[in-house]
Amino acid sequence: MNETEPVPEGFVRVEDTGPFMTLLGPLYYRSAGNGRIIALRIGGRHLNRRGIAHGGMLATLADSALSVNISLSRKPRLPTVTVTLTTDFVASARAGDWVEAHVDILKIGSRLAYANCYLQVGAKRILRASGVFAVTRAPRPDQASDG
């Protein structure tokens, strides 16, 4: 496998991800239930000195996937900031791996939102992450969704 192989069917590129995710991406997504699976092909630039995906890269993917899914759970989008993120590194990812983030939202409250996430390579779970997010303001009814 290499970085240029085509993305799996059903995935489309995430646009407008901000500078940091543009630097690391591209990210892809596929709708799944009420949310989105977020995915990325691990490339050489994502590796640490040991030749596996840097833990920070995987944590970033998890944080983004959690945040996007919570944001998209409301119309218009719910603006949030990360309060806490915990990550357990279960197995490693290598160059060429297609890593998918599967998010499970536990609660969207008026002030806090909770979700859990698994990063998977195929059916294998390589990272568990959970996040608590603060809702930064009530979305205005007249605000157009940018989702």
**Minimum CB distance to its own copies smaller for 6 or for 19:** 19
Q: How many residues bind its own copies (CB under 8 A)?
A: 48
**Minimum CB distance to its own copies smaller for 32 or for 132:** 132
Closest C-alpha among 99, 95, 96 to residue 129: 99
In angstroms, the CA 69 to CA 48 distance is 28
C-alpha distances in angstroms, 131 versus 24, 26, 92, 94? Answer: 21, 23, 21, 25
> Residues 5, 31, 33, 83: which binds its own copies (CB under 8 A)?
83
Q: How long a stretch of residues is the chain? A: 147
Q: Residue 89 interacts with its own copies (CB under 8 A)?
A: yes
Contact 66, 115 (CB under 8 A): yes
Q: Residue 15 interacts with its own copies (CB under 8 A)?
A: no
Contact 70, 114 (CB under 8 A): no
Footprint on residues 20-79 left by its own copies (CB under 8 A): 20-21, 23-24, 44-50, 53-57, 59-61, 63-64
In angstroms, the CA 113 to CA 117 distance is 13
Q: Residue 85 interacts with its own copies (CB under 8 A)?
A: yes
Contact 103, 116 (CB under 8 A): yes
Q: Which stretch binds its own copies (CB under 8 A): 2-10, 30-38, 86-94, 137-145?
A: 86-94
Q: Residue 130 interacts with its own copies (CB under 8 A)?
A: yes
Footprint on this chain of its own copies (rule: CB under 8 A): 16-21, 23-24, 44-50, 53-57, 59-61, 63-64, 81-92, 106-107, 111-112, 114, 116, 125, 128, 130, 132, 134
